[in-house]
Amino acid sequence: MTNKLFDPRNTLELYGLKLYFNFFIKLISEDKLPKTLLLTGQKGIGKFTFINHFLHHYYDKENYNEKNNTINANSHFHNKFKNNLFSNISYLDGENLNTIKIEDIRNLKLNLSKSPILNKKRFVILDSIENFNINSLNALLKIVEEPDIYTHFILINNKTKSLLETIRSRCLEIKIILNVDDKNEITESLLNFYNQEIILEKGCMHISPGNFLKFNYILNENKIDINQNLSLNLKKIISLYKKEKDYCYKDLLFFLIDYHFYQVKNENNDNYEKLIKSRALYIKSINEFFLYNLSQNTLINALENEIL
């Protein structure tokens, strides 16, 4: 639900990253856009939103407000785009809980064998590429290595896991970075746009604007106080994940753990070595919970004795 509510495809204004946007517009206008790009940066800083605006400018320039970097919500293209109905754009998301399968790659290859509409460029967007399984990544290699004259690949890497080096080596990597002031400005704009009451401290733990928005919303809606008992908060978030199957809750679990240990460290750093080991155990246990689909009770019982 959270990802649907804050789907970047519905973000009509580009907040930040305008230098990257202008750079891409210049590249494609001069026919110098690389065939295979890897956009690497913290999850939630707006990489996918920036690409959405770039695609709207390319395919629907007459309805795109370049001065204000805004999308016309009533345009025919935007309606097809947000419903994945525009055939010149293929999109696969590694955050999909069903995971990307070999069959998805075969379907992509079949789609790319057809001629693009209007003889225009077409784009394949592979979001959260670091979450694709090894078989899917290997199947992608040959497609990425030999794109036709029309096709561009844009891979989005959120750095949540190590990326297969054979994929990275096939791409021109562009690192997307926001400084603290930019993050705060974008976060403020998003909170105002979605009319959210702020319950997280601004700049808290250097969260990306997108994650700040989602975390703030979840904590607000479910009346969760991050300064309360960690075990209790973990149980609440895991229950929400079990109900909605939204990986945003996984990111929130990691945030709550980092926040807890950050607070403990500031209050008392006498047990710093134990602190490091406990945090590592928490991260390992949460990863195993998702990887092996462990029970909630198994996870909580394993961690409760480690809470400092």
Q: List domains and CATH numbers for the chain.
A: 2-175 (3.40.50.300), 222-304 (no CATH)
For residue 2, pLDDT beyond 90: no
Confidence of residue 1 (pLDDT cuts 50, 70, 90): low
240-244, 264-268, 272-276, range with greatest mean pLDDT: 240-244
> In whole angstroms, how far apart are CA 30 and each of 19, 24, 27, 33, 46?
17, 10, 5, 8, 25
Q: How many other β-carbons are positioned within 10 Å of the β-carbon of residue 142? A: 10
> Is the model's pTM score more than 0.85?
yes
> In whole angstroms, how far apart are CA 244 and each of 217, 218, 241, 299, 305?
15, 12, 5, 18, 28
The pLDDT score that the predictor gives to residue 307 is 54
The count of residues in the chain is 308
Give the pair of three-digit tokens for residue 194.
Answer: 């979605």
The pLDDT tens digits for 140-189 are 998 898 888 999 999 999 998 889 899 999 999 999 999 888 998 899 99
SS3 per residue for 249-295:
HHHHHHHHHHHHHHHHHHHCCCCHHHHHHHHHHHHHHHHHHHHHCCC
Cα 245 from Cα 252, distance rounded (Å) = 13
For residue 58, pLDDT beyond 70: yes
Tell me 36's DSSP state: E
Confidence of residue 18 (pLDDT cuts 50, 70, 90): very high
